[in-house]
């Protein structure tokens, strides 16, 4: 093992730069030649690689996004794209690959391993939907961004006595909504994992009003779909948050506003937690490859860094803890 390539793939997440930096510096310290691949698997297909040394990764630990850039490569799912990626690996004489990314990227990493290319995954996704690791790189930063946003929204919600529907990301996982809602003191959290009709949501808001609450924060995960008669209306309204907000405005006694945090959540300087996680997971990835082991993802398990075989990563992804859902609503009393 002498030449290792690092790539970031899928949605960017804060801490990816810290992970690249750690991989490059740990590799260099072992005397390995390190390379970066631009735009994830797309760059692998197009042969877009560059040599990276210690100085090339200076001043990036605090930067959000990924300086290697990223992509969701449809071409890598095709036979032609895959063949070209393998050609690149062989022409650049790459002995091992570190893939930093989420579930889709880890699937790509698994495929590379199956082709005989030693590959290690490093979990990075704001959604925290990767099974096998307690936290993925970027999650802590996005939660802090959501909480900071909820603090600001609460100021105006209190001032006007309004309900605010705040839509957050997470794809099919309610993790960001759940944990962000708990830390941000939300009255209600709506997640894909728990089924609730809009009538029930409205009843919860009105219950708060009856208890003397003059404002309300409802955090809605983008993947939430209401049960009952409105379950097909999400597309029509444009998003989960828009649907909930419209319904509350039309039927409730409290004026409602909508805020969609969107891609604001993905940017920003990574928190200390995400930087530390990135450094630890990347160091382990380099050590594994240098020791000849591939086919695994480095993961945070009980505060320790462990290697989880790709084959053990469940296809369903990671479940949210419904005890937290119960707690959010208990504390909203
Ligand atoms: O997976 C990360 C994520 O930010 C999801 O939360 C969201 O659904 C999706 O990516 C958005 O993707 P894009 O940046 O391609 O719009």
Closest-lying ligand 1 atom to the alpha carbon of residue 171: 8
Q: In this structure, what are the phi and psi dihedrals at residue 193, rounded to the nearest 5 degrees?
A: -75, -15
Residue keyed to tokens 């937290």:
324
Closest-lying ligand 1 atom to the alpha carbon of residue 169: 6
125 lines ligand 1 (CB under 6 A): yes
> To which H or E segment does residue 37 belong?
strand 33-37
Tens digit of pLDDT for each residue in 26-75? 999 999 999 999 999 999 999 999 999 999 999 999 999 999 999 999 99
Sign of CA dihedral 160, 264, 267, 308: positive
Please check whether the two domains, 3-138+270-314 and 140-266, share a CATH topology.
yes
| Residue 90: strand pairing partners | none
d(CA 40, CA 68): 8
174 lines ligand 1 (CB under 6 A): no
266 lines ligand 1 (CB under 6 A): yes
Tokens of 223: 């993947």
| Mean pLDDT, rounded, for 273-281 | 98
Catalytic residue among 95, 127, 129, 140: 127
Tokens of 97: 């690959």
65 lines ligand 1 (CB under 6 A): no
Say if CB 19 and CB 124 are below 8 A apart: yes
Residue with CA nearest ligand 1 atom 15: 11
pLDDT interval class at 298 (50, 70, 90)? very high
Question: 214 CA distance to ligand 1 centroid (A)?
Answer: 33
Between CA 126 and CA 130, with CA 128 as vertex, the angle to 5 degrees is 120
Closest-lying ligand 1 atom to the alpha carbon of residue 176: 6
Compute the residue count for the chain.
333
Domain 3-138+270-314 class? alpha beta
Give the Cβ contact number of residue 184 at 10 Å: 22
Check residue 77 and give its pLDDT. Answer: 97
- CATH topology for 140-266? Rossmann fold (3.40.50)
Say if CB 102 and CB 226 are below 8 A apart: no
Tokens of 22: 């750690």
Residue among 8, 11, 69, 192 whose CB has most ligand 1 atoms within 8 A, to mutate = 11
Q: Tell me the domain boundaries of the chain.
A: 3-138+270-314, 140-266
Question: 11 CA distance to ligand 1 centroid (A)?
Answer: 6
Check residue 317 and give its pLDDT. Answer: 73
How much is the mean pLDDT over the chain? 97
Whether 53 is catalytic is: no
> Which spans in the chain are helix H?
16-29, 40-46, 79-91, 103-114, 139-160, 175-184, 198-210, 234-237, 240-251, 272-290, 322-331
Which of 295-316 are b and which e, b meaning 16 or more Cβ less than 10 Å from the residue's Cβ? bbbbbbeeeebebbebeebeee
Residue with CA nearest ligand 1 atom 13: 11
Tens digit of pLDDT for each residue in 206-223? 999 999 999 999 999 999
126 lines ligand 1 (CB under 6 A): yes
The reported pTM is 0.97
**Secondary structure (3-state) at 64:** coil
């Amino acid at each position: 093992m002498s030449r290792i390539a690092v790539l970031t793939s899928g949605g960017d997440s804060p801490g990816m730069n810290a992970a690249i930096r750690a991989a490059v510096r740990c590799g260099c310290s072992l005397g390995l030649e390190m390379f970066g691949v631009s735009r994830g698997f797309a760059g692998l297909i197009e042969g877009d690689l560059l040599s990276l040394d210690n100085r090339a990764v200076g001043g990036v630990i605090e930067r959000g996004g990924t300086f290697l850039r990223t992509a969701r490569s449809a071409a890598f799912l095709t036979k032609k794209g895959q063949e070209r990626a393998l050609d690149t690996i062989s022409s650049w004489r790459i002995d091992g690959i570190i893939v930093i990314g989420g579930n889709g990227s880890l699937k790509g990493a698994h495929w590379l391993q199956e082709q005989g290319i030693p590959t290690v995954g490093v979990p990075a996704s704001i959604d925290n939907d990767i099974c096998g690791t307690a936290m993925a790189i970027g999650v802590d930063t996005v939660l802090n961004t959501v909480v900071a946003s909820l603090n600001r929204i609460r100021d105006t919600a209190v001032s006007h006595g309004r309900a605010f529907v705040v839509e957050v990301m997470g794809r099919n996982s309610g993790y960001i909504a759940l944990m962000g809602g708990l830390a941000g003191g939300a009255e209600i959290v709506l997640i894909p994992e728990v089924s609730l009709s809009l009538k029930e949501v409205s009843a919860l808001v009105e219950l708060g009003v009856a208890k003397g609450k003059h404002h309300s924060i409802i955090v809605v995960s983008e993947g939430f779909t209401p049960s009952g008669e409105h379950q097909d209306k999400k597309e029509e309204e444009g998003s989960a948050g828009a649907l909930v907000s419209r319904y509350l405005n039309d039927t409730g006694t409290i004026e409602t506003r909508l805020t969609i945090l969107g891609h604001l959540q993905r940017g920003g300087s990574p928190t200390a937690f995400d930087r530390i996680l990135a450094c630890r997971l990347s160091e382990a990835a380099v050590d594994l490859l240098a020791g000849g082991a591939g086919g695994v993802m480095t993961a945070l398990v009980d505060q320790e860094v462990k290697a989880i075989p790709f084959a053990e990563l469940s296809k369903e992804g990671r479940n949210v803890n419904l005890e937290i859902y119960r707690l959010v609503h208990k504390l909203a009393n």
